[in-house]
C-alpha cells in the first residue's frame, strides 16, 4: 500500500484569475535515443519502475537490544533489472534525515522481487515493501513505499503575481510548446526581463533508467539567463554542485530533496540581483534562497558570478529561461512576484509564501 506524505506547508497563498490565451500544442519531446528510453507517463513504463521510489520504516540500531529507530530508503532503477538504493537513518531527506551517513546498496531484480546488498544487510523489495536482513537472516528493518507531496504543490499565485504558465496562457513566454494535456515543455523563455522576484515552478522529470549523470532528465531554470538552478534526476544521490537543487557548478544544495522521476516537484525561489554602481562596478553579489519540495536548500546564498553557460553579469535585467537539454522535462503552474524596491514593499513580498513548520499527514493507498 502506498502512503502519501505531505511535507511542511507554506503560508500566505492568495487566489487570482489569469487571462487565457490559446497555446501552441505540440507532442511531448522525445528523449535523446542515445540515452535509452525516456518515459513520461507513469502508466506506461518498464517492469522495473514499480520498485523505484521512496520507502519509510524502521531499522534496528542496537545489536544487543530491541531498540529501533525511523529510517528512510530510496530505491533507484538503473535499467535492465539493475538497481541501487540509499538508506537514511532518521527518516527520509528533509523529513527526519537532514544530513549525515548514507547507506549504499546495489543489486538486481530476481523474478518478482529486487534483492540488494550493502552495509552488511540484504534488502528484499517487492514494489510495496522492503525488508532488511542481516547475514544470519534476522529481520533488521522494514519499510513501506510512500509518495511525498510538496507543500507548495498547486500554490496559487498571490495578488499581483505575473503568471508565466497556467496550462493555457503562454503569452508571457517565447516559442512555448504545450503538450495536449496542458503541460509546458522545456525550451522557452520569458518575454520580459525581471529584477528581484520570488518564483514558483512545478516540474516533472522523465523516467530514464539507462540515463546517467547529466543525461538523466536534464533541464534548469536560468534566472535572468545568468544563474542556473539545476533540474536533473538525481534521486537518491549525494546532491553535489551539478545535481538537482544545485546552483549549477557553483553551490550544492544543503540537502538533496529530489523526488523520484515522474513525481511532480516544486521550486520556490527568492532571487535578488547583484548591485552595480554608475560605473558598472559590482557592489554586491546576487543572493538566492531556494526551497526544493518545500525544504530550504539554499539560504540567502551569495553567488559571485554567473553559473555554467549563463550570460555575463550586468546591471540590466534579462529574461529567465527554462532550459532545453534534449530531455522531456515538463512544467506547470509557473509564476513570479516582482519584489518592490521600497522597504515596505520588499517586506510584504518577503512575507508571501514564507515557509513555516507544520505537521505531516499520511494517506494510505492501494
pLDDT tens digits, one per residue of 282-325: 999 999 999 999 999 999 999 999 999 999 999 999 999 999 98
Residue 68's pLDDT is what?
A: 83
Q: What confidence score (pLDDT) does residue 35 get?
A: 74
Mean pLDDT score across all residues of the chain: 87
Q: Does 264 have pLDDT greater than 60?
A: yes
Point out the least confidently predicted range of 2-6, 70-74, 92-96, 215-219.
Answer: 2-6
Cell 528510453 -> residue = 37
Task: Please report the pLDDT score of residue 103 as a whole number.
Answer: 97
Q: What is the mean pLDDT of residues 202-214?
A: 94
CA 13 and chain centroid, separation: 21
Distances (CA, A) of 294 to 78, 142, 166, 200, 291: 27, 27, 20, 11, 5
In this predicted structure, what is the pLDDT of residue 96?
Answer: 97
For residues 51 and 75, the answer to whether their CB atoms sit within 8 Å is yes
Q: How is 222-262 classified by DSSP, letter by letter?
A: EETTTEEEEE---TTS---TTSTTSBTTTB--SS--PPPTT
* Residue with more model confidence, 342 or 170: 170
Burial of 178-192, coded b for 16+ CB within 10 Å and e otherwise, reads bbeeebbbbbbbbee
Mean of pLDDT values over 176-198: 97
Question: What are the tens digits of pLDDT across the range 31-51?
Answer: 666 678 999 999 999 999 999
Could you tell me what percent of the chain has a pLDDT over 70? 82
pLDDT of residue 334: 98
Res 40: pLDDT: 95
Q: What are phi and psi of 49, to 5 degrees?
A: -60, -35
Helix, strand, coil percentages for the chain (3-state, nearest 5): 5, 40, 55
Q: How far is CA 258 from CA 92, 117, 232, in A?
A: 11, 23, 8
Q: Are 13 and 353 in contact (CB under 8 A)?
A: yes
Q: What is the pLDDT of residue 4?
A: 63
Amino acid at each position: 500500500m502506498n502512503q502519501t506524505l505531505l511535507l511542511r506547508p507554506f503560508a500566505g497563498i492568495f487566489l487570482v484569475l489569469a487571462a487565457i490565451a490559446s497555446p501552441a500544442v505540440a507532442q511531448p519531446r522525445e528523449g535523446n535515443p542515445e540515452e535509452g528510453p525516456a518515459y513520461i507517463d507513469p502508466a506506461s513504463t518498464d517492469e522495473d519502475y514499480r520498485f523505484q521510489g521512496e520507502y519509510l520504516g524502521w531499522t534496528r540500531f542496537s545489536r544487543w537490544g530491541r531498540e529501533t529507530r525511523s529510517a528512510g530508503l530510496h530505491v533507484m532503477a538503473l535499467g535492465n533489472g539493475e538497481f541501487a538504493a540509499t538508506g537514511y537513518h532518521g527518516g527520509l531527506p528533509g523529513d527526519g534525515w537532514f544530513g549525515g551517513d548514507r547507506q549504499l546498496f546495489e543489486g538486481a531484480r530476481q523474478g518478482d522481487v529486487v534483492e540488494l546488498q550493502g552495509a552488511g544487510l540484504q534488502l528484499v523489495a517487492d514494489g510495496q515493501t522492503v525488508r532488511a536482513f542481516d547475514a544470519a537472516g534476522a529481520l533488521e528493518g522494514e519499510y513501506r513505499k510512500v509518495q511525498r507531496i510538496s507543500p507548495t504543490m498547486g500554490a496559487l499565485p498571490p495578488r499581483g503575481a505575473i503568471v508565466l504558465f497556467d496550462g493555457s496562457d503562454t503569452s508571457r513566454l517565447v516559442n512555448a510548446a504545450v503538450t495536449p494535456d496542458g503541460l509546458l515543455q522545456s525550451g522557452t523563455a520569458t518575454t520580459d526581463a525581471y529584477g528581484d522576484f520570488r518564483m514558483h515552478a512545478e516540474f516533472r522529470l522523465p523516467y530514464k533508467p539507462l540515463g546517467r549523470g547529466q543525461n538523466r532528465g536534464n533541464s534548469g531554470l536560468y534566472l535572468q539567463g545568468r544563474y542556473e538552478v539545476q533540474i536533473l534526476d538525481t534521486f537518491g544521490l549525494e546532491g553535489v554542485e551539478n545535481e538537482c537543487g544545485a546552483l549549477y557548478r557553483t553551490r550544492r544544495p544543503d540537502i538533496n530533496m529530489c523526488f523520484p522521476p515522474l513525481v511532480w516537484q516544486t521550486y520556490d525561489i527568492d532571487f535578488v540581483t547583484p548591485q552595480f554602481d554608475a560605473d558598472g562596478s559590482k557592489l554586491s553579489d546576487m543572493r538566492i534562497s531556494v526551497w526544493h519540495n518545500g525544504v530550504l536548500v539554499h539560504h540567502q546564498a551569495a553567488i559571485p558570478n554567473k553559473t555554467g553557460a549563463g550570460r555575463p553579469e550586468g546591471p540590466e535585467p534579462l529574461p529567465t529561461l527554462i532550459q532545453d537539454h534534449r530531455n522531456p522535462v515538463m512544467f506547470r503552474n509557473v509564476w513570479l512576484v516582482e519584489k518592490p524596491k521600497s522597504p515596505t514593499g520588499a517586506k510584504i513580498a518577503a512575507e508571501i509564501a514564507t515557509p513555516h513548520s507544520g505537521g505531516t499527514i499520511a494517506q494510505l493507498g492501494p
